[in-house]
Structure 1
Amino acid sequence: MEAGLRRDEAPVDDVALAARVARGDAAAVRVVTQRHNQRLFRTAFAILGNRSEAEDAVQSAYLSAFRAIGRFEGRASLATWLTRIVVNESLGRARAAKRRRERLDPRSVVVLDDYRERLMAGSTSAAPPDAALARAQIRQMLEQAIARLPEAFRLVFVLREVEGLSIEEVAAAVGIPEGTVKTRHLRAKRRLQEALAPELKTALSGTFPFLGPSCEAMTRRVTAALCGGEVPETR
């Protein structure tokens, strides 16, 4: 049996990594999920606006992607390929949820703003309590402002500003022209600038976290579903 990937191994290119996943290499599945969990969660959340729904969408997208990964040819990066699948999965869920809401009597249902959930419990690094509190408050303000953006603007903004994707990568992932990416990104920034001071942009790197236990849990669930059984933690 082929030896699994180790943390100290040289990076494996996307096509070779995809081939290992296709063969059921649990270590390769772990590498792919740990590498992409954060971006894919943020993408799903930008569309669905609910942490639990976003996690479910990412897991479903992983399983769909990995079952078809033998056909991955590397024409786009693995990150872009996975992001596109998550976008499609999330949009499908959003449309289904909208249809369900439309069938309900609006007079008997209170539609809550799912973005009220506070995603940040504190700073991801050690800092004085006052500084950590200030950063948490800034992140909360920023997340609320992003949440108020229209869905189309919000998705492009998160991929560009939070994930740092290029215009070309966003266009490929979302399936829209590059010119549309530029327009939506510009309009999203203008709307945010109306509500937030420019210096708050520095807080973007800490928004919508999907690290630590959440990231590890996603990796273990996907690996177990694809490879079977309990997967030992990577040393």
Structure 2
Amino acid sequence: MPHPAQSTAGAVSESSGGAPPRPADPRLDPLRRGDAAAYEQLVRAECGRMLAAARRILGNEEDAREAVQEAFVSARRALPKFEGHSSLSTWLHRIAINAALMKLRTRRSRPQISIETLQPRFLADGHHADPVDPWSPDAESEAMTSETRAAVRAAIDRLPETYRNVLLLRDIEELDTRQTAELLEIDPGTVKVRLHRARLALRKLLDEQFSGGLR
């Protein structure tokens, strides 16, 4: 059985799209030579973003730190195969996401609500069965407050895991459909369906808070 760190790196490919490699990152040569100081600098520079991504997926500080540690070990071993089609930072970010997803799969599943209960209901004529109040004009700007970010995060956490992960990777981590499908080991069509349903569910969860302005 491969080491978890090796599996983490092996599941992440660079996205070239036929494009030539990017200009070489000056950090690569010393890293490939095994320069310990260069590795420490890399950890300091990239750890924050990687840890934030792992936290969003795992919702647990200890698990997130373990995932990032595994990601760095995995990346160090995989550096000889890194071709530079994506930036080093982007490559590390994806390895951290994959490490977090792998750890998530090993955890005992928590009770989850059905996505069906979070979907909008429609009448036979196609109109909404439940009133849909427009969000206030200030909702978008208010969504930047720490209180509202916490509310959005809590709403995302209520989504069933398979839908939550797609939403996090596409809308929060800003991966494209193909990258998301690769990391979650599902086909791109499934990513699109789950993302659409996750967005509808999130809208329903947030409607009460945003309709007519935040309370």
The match for 1:72 is 82
Residue 55 of structure 1 and its aligned partner are, at CA, apart by 1.6
Give the letter for the 2:199 counterpart.
Answer: K
**CA separation of 1:76 and 1:162: change in aligned 2, threshold 3 A:** same
Structure 1 counterpart SS, 2:83: coil
**CA separation of 1:88 and 1:198: change in aligned 2, threshold 3 A:** same
Match status 1:136 vs 2:146: yes
Match status 1:21 vs 2:34: no
Match status 1:150 vs 2:169: no
**Number of residue equivalences:** 159
Residue 46 of structure 1 and its aligned partner are, at CA, apart by 3.7
Residue 32 of structure 1 and its aligned partner are, at CA, apart by 6.7
Q: Distance in 2 between matches of 1:155 and 1:79?
A: 21
**Greater relative CO (CA pairs within 8 A, separation 6+):** 1
Residue 84 of structure 1 and its aligned partner are, at CA, apart by 4.3
Which TM-score applies when normalising by structure 1?
A: 0.53
The match for 1:210 is none
Check the 8 A contact 1:41/1:55 in 2, yes or no: yes
After the TM superposition, which segments of 4 or more aligned residues of structure 1 sit over 6 Å from their partners?
none
Greater displacement, 43-52 / 184-193: 43-52
Provide the identity percentage: 36
Q: Distance in 2 between matches of 1:141 and 1:65?
A: 34
Which TM-score applies when normalising by structure 2?
A: 0.57
**CA separation of 1:170 and 1:18: change in aligned 2, threshold 3 A:** farther
Q: Root-mean-square deviation (CA), in Å?
A: 3.7
Residue 50 of structure 1 and its aligned partner are, at CA, apart by 0.7
From 74, 91, 101, the counterpart of 1:91: 101
Highest Rg: 1 or 2?
2
Q: Distance in 1 between matches of 2:182 and 2:28?
A: 19
**CA separation of 1:170 and 1:80: change in aligned 2, threshold 3 A:** farther
The match for 1:30 is 41
| Larger helix proportion of the pair | 1
Q: Distance in 1 between matches of 2:87 and 2:194?
A: 23
Match status 1:62 vs 2:59: no
Give the letter for the 1:30 counterpart.
Answer: Q
Which runs of 5 or more residues in structure 1 are unaligned? 1-11, 102-110, 113-130, 201-235
